[in-house]
Structure 1
């Protein structure tokens, strides 16, 4: 049902309803369109974005940096797409990858307004997370959400993330400091 196909540094995964792959430099128009179309929908959940975030040239520069980070194993930026890879449905980013004795990262994600309520992010993360755990040896994946974002909280709980704390004024979202619930998913290990 699910499969992994990887060639460094590109990662390509499949699920029942979608194709999932890491970003490439050619994706600037795809990401520009995604963020332009979902600008108002995503605004309450994201940091303030400068205008370059909604323009092709801004994504050209951003994708170069993202490519370097992926090549070095410091981050993995995934696109959730229709099976024919014509439409971008959402993004999921595993960033700030720390190796050594920690083997951890942070998870962030968004889904297009038109794709909400279809179980796509759950399906996509159900493929990406095992890849990060098994192939990249990530032991701890941390994901934080604003208390009012009940959908995100329910998604993380369904995926097995456990609440570890509460941080006041944790991130500046849409121009305001927001509290966040801190969660993590730990890769099971034999003790």
Structure 2
């Protein structure tokens, strides 16, 4: 089941189709995460071997479905238009209503697909959707200072640097600083 107003066919760009992450995607998501395990390791929390099992992938997707059903998140898979293969993912999480009207954006693209502009293309469409349908005021995205690629993607998409958070998240077993960025909805 899609979140309210999310197109059944997904969001289509020139090269990417964004689809809602579902339990039925467990095998494809697990293959994507396993293939990119070393590639993502410097940018993510430590992952045990159990993380890379089918039951764990199914559990993660079930939690994603619950978050989307409650309106607190939107979890999307980036798929190649021609192949349908999972190229990456993006997540709009911790959606807060009331006077804040904001969320956090996280994203990852497979090593094989880096440097082609696919993430910028997909995120541009996803952000437009979230601003238009969720009517949020602010999307926040944070990245490690040494993650130049993510910083460049966010800058290209109009995210502005707001500061540096010291020892912000425990990444790959170490507390890591993060650059704080955000983008304000131009229509709100």
After TM superposition, the structure 1 stretch with the greater mean CA deviation from structure 2, 114-123 or 85-94, is 85-94
Task: State the SS of the aligned residue for 1:135.
Answer: helix
Task: State the SS of the aligned residue for 1:48.
Answer: coil
Residue equivalent to 2:76:
78
Relative distance call for 1:59 and 1:9 in structure 2 (3 A) is farther
Alpha-carbon RMSD: 1.5
Task: State the SS of the aligned residue for 1:130.
Answer: helix
After TM superposition, the structure 1 stretch with the greater mean CA deviation from structure 2, 134-143 or 48-57, is 48-57
Counterpart Cα distance in 2 of 1:73 and 1:85: 30
Residue of structure 2 aligned with 1:27, choices 25, 32, 37: 25
Residue 8 of structure 1 and its aligned partner are, at CA, apart by: 3.1
The question of 1:98 aligning with 2:96 is answered: yes
Residue equivalent to 1:120:
118
Residue of structure 1 aligned with 2:4, choices 3, 8, 11: 8
After TM superposition, the structure 1 stretch with the greater mean CA deviation from structure 2, 144-153 or 82-91, is 82-91
Counterpart Cα distance in 1 of 2:39 and 2:166: 24
Residue equivalent to 1:68:
66
- Taking the TM superposition and a 5 Å limit, the aligned residue runs for 1:166-185 are 166-185=164-183
TM-score (norm 2): 0.94
Residue equivalent to 1:3:
none
TM-score (norm 1): 0.92
Aligned residue pair count: 185
Residue equivalent to 1:45:
43
Counterpart Cα distance in 1 of 2:82 and 2:39: 25
Task: State the SS of the aligned residue for 1:165.
Answer: strand
User: Is the Cα contact below 8 Å between 2:20 and 2:74 reproduced in 1?
Assistant: yes
The question of 1:153 aligning with 2:180 is answered: no
